Amino acid sequence: MPATAIAIHLRAARIYTKTLWQTFSVRISGRILLAAILTGFFTGLFVALAEEFFSRDEVFGPAESLATFVPLPLLAALLVSIGLRRRHLARRMTGVAFLTLAIPLIGIGIGGANVLQQMLGGAIGGGFWGLFFATRPSRAGAISE
């Protein structure tokens, strides 16, 4: 292969890399991600404590589950958004709280997890769901060569 063909091939690969990088470049807001992790953590804490409190009689009925699964994630989202002094995040954190409740917390709660495990699962789930709210497209400029 002649040297000019190799140079053309390398230049084409470099252009493709620039285009690929600029297409998939995103920024992650650390404050929103931290708020989401804290929201998941407190959702896990509140739900686990409510489950422990309401299931002392070994029965977790419909009224008890309604009292656990509706207001407590909302309370966690509002406490985090007010505590961090970012009230504009309340809607996003409400979404994170209910998504965290739906996917990791109900699953590990059914499996018989204790409070610490649900708090850890809530923090991990909050971080995962928070990524969807914390990412935004980046205005990637020219890449230094």
Q: Report, as an integer, the average pLDDT of 23-32.
A: 83
Residue 25's pLDDT is: 75
- Among 6-10, 129-133, 136-140, which stretch is predicted with the lowest mean pLDDT? 6-10
Residue 144's pLDDT is: 47
Q: Report, as an integer, the average pLDDT of 83-91.
A: 94
Taken as a whole, the chain contains a residue count of: 145
**Residue ranges per domain, the chain?**
30-135
Q: Compute the distance between CA of residue 97 and CA of residue 73 in angstroms, rounded to an integer.
A: 5
Q: What is the 3-state secondary structure (H, E, C) of 70-112?
A: CHHHHHHHHHHHHHCCCHHHHHHHHHHHHHHHHHHHHHHHHCC
pTM of the model: 0.80
Residue 21's pLDDT is: 55
Higher pLDDT, 93 or 60: 93
Residue 145's pLDDT is: 43
Both ends of the chain: CA-CA distance in Å? Answer: 25
Tens of pLDDT, residues 31-80: 999 999 999 999 999 999 999 999 899 888 999 999 999 999 999 999 99
Percent pLDDT > 90 in the chain is: 67
Mean of all residue pLDDT scores within the chain = 86
